[in-house]
């Protein structure tokens, strides 16, 4: 059996991302998304999740490039002077390894994010994080504790291939090797707590879009088991790129999700399109 989870990250970050998610559920192969608790378009994302029960909604834990749920004065080690998270994973990792991240504040903030998600009434299918911060040492322990306590039964383990998408040089390879190492450690910790994860991860981690051609290649080469593809769909690059500060082809990923050729190939290969509910272990 070959199963495919296409997950839309950053759900709730922007109304044009929410619009892409809803249309990709209605017209395409999207059945999974992770919602950013502190995002500006959170409320409309929740409404989409309620409207579409076939969409498995998880929590996109956020410690970088976004907004906290707790008041900034309660988590000073996690925010800038402007009261927002540091901009990217590199800045956060530097703070973490230099001892300038208070792990009690991490637990408090992520707990508040989870509580906000639980208060929506949505049944959370899984957990992951913005820029894979949940795989970091210390943070993964907090995340596993929280999801276990909340009864969330699955988590992303981003075991990204070293070579996928455009080659970005030795720096990219080092980054992917580091993430792969953290992912393996995180996967072992999750498994020891009876928290499930997909067998394979096909998302491109360096920011390139998963185009229609790349998604076709993933589907043609699927192995038996469950593969997650991490994607970031959106509508209208001209507005999303400046609004998010990310030079990403959101439209290409949306087009891949609703592509008739993709849908046809999935049907021909008898691939099951699913979400993280299909991974839940029997307790």
Cα distances (angstroms) measured from residue 232 to each of 18, 21, 63, 173: 11, 9, 18, 22
Domain containing residue 228: CATH number: 3.20.20.370
Predicted confidence at residue 178, as pLDDT, reads 62
- For the chain, residues with pLDDT lower than 50 are 162-163, 167-174, 177
Does residue 40 come out as left (phi exceeding 0), alpha (psi in the -120 to 50 range) or beta?
alpha
What pairs with residue 225 in β-bridges? Answer: 2
Predicted confidence at residue 171, as pLDDT, reads 44
**Which member of 9, 10, 128, 249 is catalytic?**
9
Single out the residue of 41, 38, 130, 39 nearest to residue 88, CA to CA. 130
Question: Residue 169's domain spans which residues?
Answer: 2-279
Round to whole Å and give the CA distance between 152 and 133: 18
* Cα angle for residues 12, 259, 46 (degrees, 5° grid): 20
Predicted confidence at residue 172, as pLDDT, reads 47
CB 126 within 8 A of CB 34: yes
Q: Does residue 9 have an active-site annotation?
A: yes
> What's the domain count of the chain?
1
């Amino acid at each position: 059996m070959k199963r495919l989870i296409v997950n839309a990250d950053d759900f709730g970050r922007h109304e044009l991302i929410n619009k892409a998610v809803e249309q990709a559920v209605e017209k395409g192969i999207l059945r999974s998304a992770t919602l950013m608790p502190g995002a500006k378009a959170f409320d409309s994302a929740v409404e989409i999740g309620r409207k579409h029960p076939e969409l498995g909604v998880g929590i996109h834990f956020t410690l970088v490039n976004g907004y906290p749920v707790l008041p900034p004065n309660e988590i000073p080690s996690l925010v800038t002077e402007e009261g927002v998270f540091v901009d990217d994973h590199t800045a956060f990792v530097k703070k973490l390894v230099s001892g300038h991240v208070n792990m009690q504040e991490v637990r408090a903030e992520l707990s508040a994010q989870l509580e906000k998600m639980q208060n929506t009434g949505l049944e959370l299918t899984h957990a992951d994080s913005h820029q894979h911060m949940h795989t970091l040492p210390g943070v993964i322990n907090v995340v596993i504790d929280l999801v276990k306590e909340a009864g969330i039964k699955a988590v992303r383990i981003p075991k990204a291939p070293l070579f996928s998408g455009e080659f970005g040089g030795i720096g990219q390879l080092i980054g992917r090797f580091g993430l792969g190492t953290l992912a393996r450690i995180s996967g072992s910790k999750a498994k020891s707590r009876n928290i499930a994860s997909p067998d394979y991860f096909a998302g491109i981690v360096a920011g390139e879009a998963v185009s229609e051609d790349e998604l076709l290649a993933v589907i043609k080469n699927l192995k038996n088991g469950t593969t997650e593809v991490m994607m970031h769909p959106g509508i209208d690059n001209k507005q999303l790129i400046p609004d998010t500060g990310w030079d990403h082809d959101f439209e290409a990923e949306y087009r891949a999700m609703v592509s008739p050729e993709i849908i046809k190939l999935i049907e021909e290969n008898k691939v099951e399109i699913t979400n993280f509910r299909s991974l839940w272990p029997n307790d």
